[in-house]
Every structure is written in C-alpha cells, then in structure tokens.
Amino acid sequence: FYAGFILIAPKFFGFPETRRAVNPIPESAQITYETVHFPSTQGPIQLTGWWMPAENARGIIILVHGFRGQREIPRFGGVAFARQLIGAGYSVLSFDLRNHGDSDASPDGELVIADLPRDLSGALDWVAAKQPDLPIGVIGLSLGGDVVIRTAAHDSRIAAIVTVDGAFEPVAASFNFMVRERGIPAPLARQLVWSMQYVHRIWPDESALDIGKRLDGRKLLLIHNEADPVSPASGARKLKAALPDAELWITPPPPADHPLMRNAGRQGSHVLSYLLYPDAFVEKVLNFFDQRLAYTAHS
C-alpha cells in the first residue's frame, strides 16, 4: 500500500491545481492592452496572454510566471512592473503557461516541466510576427526562470534574460514547496520528490542549472533574494560561478516586520524583490535591457 501511495501521491501532493483566476488590468494602471491567443509549438495547446505595446517600441519583453501563477503575476507586482517597462519603451507580453490561468491544459492534464519551453517558443513566434526586427528579452520568475533558461539554450531570438528567484534546482524547490506550502512532513516529501523525479519524470534529466552553464553569460541577469525559502540563492550563485560574465544581484533579506512579510505566507521573500526594493530593481533591470538589447539591435 505504501509503495502504491508513493507512486500516485505526486499527482495530488506534488503539483496541485494550478489555475488561479486572472483579474483584468484595472483602468487605474493606464495600460493599453489586448487579450491575445496563440499556439504552443507543441500540439494543439492554445495559450492566452496580455499584449501591452509601447509607442515607438525599441524592444520586446516577455514575462514568464512561476508555478501556480498566471499572467497577472500579482505576488511579484506584475502589472505595475509591466507599466514601467512600457514607459521605458518596451512592448510587453505576459502570458499563461499551459495548465495555468486561461491557457489550455496539456492533453493528459499533467504538467511536465520539459514541455514548458514549447510554450515560451510559441510566445516568441507570436511577438516576432507582431513586431518583427525588435530585440527580445525575457523575464522568468521562479519556475519561469527554469523555463527561460531551457528555451534560450536552443532559441537564439532571446537576446537578454532576467531571472527572479529562478528555480534552477527544481528538486530542491519542489521539496521546499511541499514542506512549506503544503505542510507535508519532510520524510514523506523526500519520497514524493523521488517518485516525481524517477517515476513520473516530471522534470527533465538535465537541470536548468547545468543547461544554463552553456549559455552566453553576457545575456544573463540573475536576481535572487538572499532569504528565499523556496528557491535557494545557492543555485544563482552556482550559475554565476560557472558564467563569470553573467550579472548577479543578491537582494538583502527583508526585515521580519516589513509590511510585505506579514502576508507573505510560507513562501517568505520568494519573488518579492521588486516590491521590496522597487527603485533599485527597476534601475537594475532597465539598465541591463537597455545595454543588452541595444547591443543586439545594432550587432
């Protein structure tokens, strides 16, 4: 019985229901946008996103949310951040990965990490057709960071990558998620993670950390909070060590009495760096995109 439970339990405890309602962008945000639909490059899966064009755009930024997220990315402050990107001259596409938000589910209903780069590839196809000849940058949050790294390894259209608390070591991140978010005892969580990894094959054989080591480090800005309890900052440090040309910004742990931490839940400071340090965050990201995408546009 125990062995059978371990084999099927990941379906219930590992990756629970991923859909969360998407709220429309409020008028107060003063963002001109349209809801768009486009296919993943894998099968008949239709994806949904928000297209937020900038006037006289000089580049395109795609936002990729994390596990159990959606294109609004409320925990990160996605709408407010998108407005700042648009104001700086970048068109923005924020979209729902499969099994999330308003996008289609995979044919068997299961979320397989190895398939998600096909969704980002579909987004790249769409923006490249919408505003051709503009350089493209991508921001990946948490699991989205994993997706961006995997996609960039085989798609040269991604000229600049920003990861925010990227889940470069998904086994550790999933264990932390089960223990902290789902309240599963650590010994059982270890067994479930083993089953997810070796029986259900939810993760690819090669980690995003190992794949990322083969990228051009100049394309990478790694942002990670020192106190992130979900995706340890050690993953970003390892990637930086392998890619000396990459830029690494470890944001300070927030004070325990910070207003944002009162409602942060068990995820703590995970993907909160923009809201914790908005001015420094925007300056760091815009400087990176301004330099990298301008270089790409003129190279």
Q: Which domains does the chain possess?
A: 2-17+36-119+136-297 (3.40.50.1820)
**Beta bridge pairs of residue 251:** 225
pLDDT, tens digit, for every residue of 121-177? 999 999 999 999 999 999 999 999 999 999 999 999 999 999 999 977 767 767 777
pTM: predicted TM-score of the whole model, two decimal places? 0.88
Tell me how far apart the alpha carbons of residues 15 and 115 are, in angstroms, rounded to a whole number.
15
Token representation of residue 104: 């289609």
Quote the distance between the C-alpha of residue 253 and its chain's center. Answer: 21
Determine which of 9-23, 33-47, 187-201, 241-255 has the lowest per-residue pLDDT on average.
9-23
Q: Phi, psi (5° rounding) for residue 32?
A: -85, 120
Q: Pairing mode, if any, of strands 220-225 and 136-141?
A: unpaired
The count of C-alpha atoms lying within 13 angstroms of the C-alpha of 77, restricted to the half-sphere facing its C-beta, is 18
